[in-house]
């Protein structure tokens, strides 16, 4: 694998590339960022969308194989009707804008979440079209966790396993993983949650068994390539034992 671009001594080494296959980001703190700056909360979500674009570009440059963004949880649809409507408008704009970006040719897009309510059908359709448009690309996988919940993912997998008529004796880890929304993706090596909150909120409970966690204090709209490199540098200091002592 070609050695990735680094900044000084920071970023990936060749050995690092071989170890880290997937970084997942819980995009937290958009509203907090806006409140701290005396701006409308919706502005925080808009800046969060801009941060996703910056980090996709940075991930391509750093040759990260898979990057996941948890941008909208199933539970987030319980927020005020006004905020949810704004978030859906933002997702429509972001998804349609992505079709026009040169970056789209360099990524393979994945939608990780329910393909049904509570998310609007047209927003799901935009993301499904992105999947279709990029399915033959061989670049970095961008896994957007939209309409996502970890418990919902596992329950959905269980329902489809039962519907498929799988015998209990046939059920093993590999089979369960093949029914998860992340099927075919490596488990996250590093899960980063911005805003200083140190909880997972149900994010990838199956896939995070041996993930490393990183909880920076800054809010998601502040995240950029430099902060992503800082996270990768922190990951390089971790000793991963995978339960072996």
Task: Give catalytic residues, as residue numbers.
Answer: 28, 76
Strands (E), 96-139: 107-112
CB neighbours of 35 closer than 8 A, spacing ≥ 6?
A: 41, 44
Sign of CA dihedral 194, 199, 201, 204: positive
Is the Cβ–Cβ distance between 221 and 29 less than 8 Å? yes
What are residue 71's phi and psi, to 5 degrees? Answer: -105, -20
Tokens of 98: 């992505």
Is the Cβ–Cβ distance between 188 and 204 less than 8 Å? yes
Tokens of 139: 């670049």
Residues forming a β-bridge with 68: 24, 143
How many Cβ atoms are within 10 Å of 221's Cβ, its own excluded? 25
Is the Cβ–Cβ distance between 54 and 67 less than 8 Å? no
Is the Cβ–Cβ distance between 110 and 144 less than 8 Å? yes
In three-state form (DSSP H/G/I as H, E/B as E, the rest C), the secondary structure along 82-96 is HHHHHHHHHHHHHHH
DSSP SS3 for 222:
helix
């Amino acid at each position: 694998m070609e050695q990735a671009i680094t900044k000084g001594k920071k970023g990936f080494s060749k050995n690092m590339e071989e170890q880290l296959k997937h970084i997942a980001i819980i995009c937290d703190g958009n509203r907090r960022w806006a409140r701290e700056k005396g701006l409308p909360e919706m502005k925080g979500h808009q800046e969060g969308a801009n941060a996703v674009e910056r980090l996709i570009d940075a991930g391509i440059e750093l040759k990260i194989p898979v990057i996941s963004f948890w941008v909208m949880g199933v539970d987030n649809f319980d927020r005020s009707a006004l905020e949810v409507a704004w978030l859906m408008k933002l997702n429509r704009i972001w998804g349609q804008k992505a079709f026009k970006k040169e970056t789209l040719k360099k990524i393979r897009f994945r939608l990780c979440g329910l393909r049904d309510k509570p998310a609007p059908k047209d927003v799901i359709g935009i993301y499904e079209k992105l999947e279709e448009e990029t399915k033959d690309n061989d670049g970095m996988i961008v896994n957007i966790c939209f309409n996502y919940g970890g418990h919902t993912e596992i329950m959905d997998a269980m329902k489809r396993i039962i519907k498929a008529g799988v015998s209990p004796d046939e059920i093993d880890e590999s089979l369960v993983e093949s029914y998860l929304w992340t099927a075919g993706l490596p488990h996250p090596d590093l899960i980063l949650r911005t805003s200083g909150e140190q909880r997972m909120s149900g994010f990838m409970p199956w896939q995070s068994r041996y993930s490393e966690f990183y909880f920076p204090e800054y809010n998601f709209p502040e995240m950029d390539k430099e902060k992503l490199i800082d996270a990768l540098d922190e990951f390089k200091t971790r000793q991963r034992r995978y339960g072996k002592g």
